[in-house]
Structures are given as C-alpha cells and as structure tokens.
Amino acid sequence: MYGTVEYFTDYFKTCIMNNFSGEKPLMLPSNYQRLTEEIIMRIEKREEKEVCLSNLERAYNKINDELFGDRRKR
C-alpha cells in the first residue's frame, strides 16, 4: 500500500536493481528527493503527509543500513 515503510523499501530496492540494467541509473538520494516531492504534491491531509514522509525516511534509513551498515554501530 502506498505510503508504508514496506512500500518505500520495496521501491528503493527495485530502483537499485534497475540501476544494474538501466542506461541512466538514479542515485538513492535522487529517488528519495523525488518521492518526497511526490508525497508533498500528492497527499493533501497534513497528518497523512507526515506519516508518509516519516515512513519514507524510515525506509531510506533502512536501505542505507542494509547497503552500508548500521551507522549507529560505528
């Protein structure tokens, strides 16, 4: 379902996999920024927007931790 941590996590993973075969790969921060802008434009209710942005942030941090290690352990 759109806006959940799982949705955004799967989206980031798909983007990463597509970067291996695509001609013009997109960086993870670029995808994060694009999704942030999409949420801001797409969702009207402030509470729902805040939840989606929080979920996006959690998914982004989760993917970064999976790719580069848990930054809290450094």
Residues 6+ apart with CB under 8 A from 64: 28, 71
Q: How many CB atoms neighbour CB 68 within 10 A?
A: 9
Residues 6+ apart with CB under 8 A from 65: 71
Task: Tell me the per-residue pLDDT of 22-34, one tens digit each, with 9 for 90 and over.
Answer: 777 778 899 999 9
pTM of the model: 0.86
Calculate what percentage of the chain has a pLDDT beyond 70.
95
Q: How many CB atoms neighbour CB 35 within 10 A?
A: 20
